[in-house]
Amino acid sequence: MVNIQSSVVRISLILAIAVGAHLIALAIRWLGRRTLSSRLGSETKVQTVTGFVTSSLIFVIYFAAVGFILRELGISLSTYLASASVIGLAVSFGSQGLVQDVITGLTLVFSDLLDVGDMVEIGGQIGIVQAVHMRFTALVNFSGALVHIPNRSITNVISYPKGYVRAFLDVRLPADRRRWDALEAKVAQIAEAAHEQFPGILLLPPTMEPKRETSGGQAHLRVKFRIWPGQGAIIEQAVKSSIVQSLKILDDGYADWMVTVHYRAEPPGSEGDKRLPRPSAIGNR
């Protein structure tokens, strides 16, 4: 009878620990979201730190709860934390990765390498930073997919301060000035159509600079796009090809090489367009 009562108490305690840990984790997550939704949460550094601290606290809560549950099942905490068994070795190796993730995450958060809302490239993945967690950094790529990158695998960060890459499409104008207005109208029409077709890649409507002539007497028309980094193929293939083919119809002597594309990532404080608005952070994970 005593053994039965003892087992009931132990099971009740285990359930209480599990439920309590989960409720505490939910409370921490709720507080994190409240912070992000407050006026203070509009600051990108606050968003970044809040996401990291929230995920760290939740991990600690669950990790401690598992330890206490195992203790109730007769397994000591010391065995749980460090064991000479095969399981202990596996935990040890996993802990090494965990420590690397945490240290790298702290470095990312407090060295200002990135913040929530930044457009960055990490390990070949380009996206907008949605959260920096204890073990992972979350990016949203151009297709809207959420990409989780282990912090310990982050060896370099390429930042795009304005939130886009500037693509310059230069169209060489023919010597016959009578064709210029028709060519310019056609180029503008194609550029606008491309933005309507690929709004997730061509982030803002294109702009056109006034026609200009070089010192060598060549006239050019420049179209400026603000595009998602790494997605220049849309400009180089679809847009450029469409412009060349259309201009060949208007001018038999027009050639492919007369349309060129180049790119520039504008640094902070440079003249031109302001930084694109930062997206709201997703819920903590």
Report whether 221 contacts 174 (CB < 8 A). no
pLDDT at 43: 67
pLDDT at 90: 46
pLDDT at 47: 74
Helix (H, G, I), strand (E, B) or coil at 139: strand
pLDDT in tens, 122-180: 988 999 999 888 888 999 998 889 999 998 888 889 999 888 999 999 999 888 888 88
Average pLDDT, the chain: 80
pLDDT at 119: 92
pLDDT in tens, 54-109: 877 877 787 778 777 777 777 676 666 655 344 444 445 455 666 777 778 877 87
Report the first-to-last Cα separation within the chain, whole angstroms: 44
Report whether 203 contacts 228 (CB < 8 A). yes
2-37 and 44-72 helices, crossing angle to 10°: 180
Question: What DSSP state is assigned to residue 278?
Answer: P
Q: Which whole number is the average pLDDT over 221-244?
A: 92
- Strand spans (E) along the chain: 119-122, 125-132, 136-140, 146-150, 157-160, 165-172, 202-208, 212-213, 219-227, 259-264
Lowest mean pLDDT among 13-22, 127-136, 216-225, 264-273: 264-273
Question: What DSSP state is assigned to residue 7?
Answer: H
Contacts by 198-203 with C-beta closer than 8 Å and gap 24+?
Answer: 198/234, 198/238, 200/142, 200/143, 200/144, 200/228, 201/142, 201/227, 201/228, 201/231, 201/234, 202/226, 202/227, 202/234, 203/163, 203/164, 203/227, 203/228, 203/276
Helix (H, G, I), strand (E, B) or coil at 259: strand
Question: What DSSP state is assigned to residue 151?
Answer: G
86-110 and 44-72 helices, crossing angle to 10°: 160
Of 3-12, 41-50, 56-65, 221-230, the range with the highest mean pLDDT is: 221-230
What's the token pair of residue 23? 């409720």
Q: What's the pTM?
A: 0.68
In the chain, what are the domains?
A: 1-162+276-285 (no CATH), 165-264 (3.30.70.600)
Going by C-beta distance under 8 Å and a sequence separation of 6 or more, which residues neighbour residue 100? 151, 152
Reported residue count of the chain is: 285
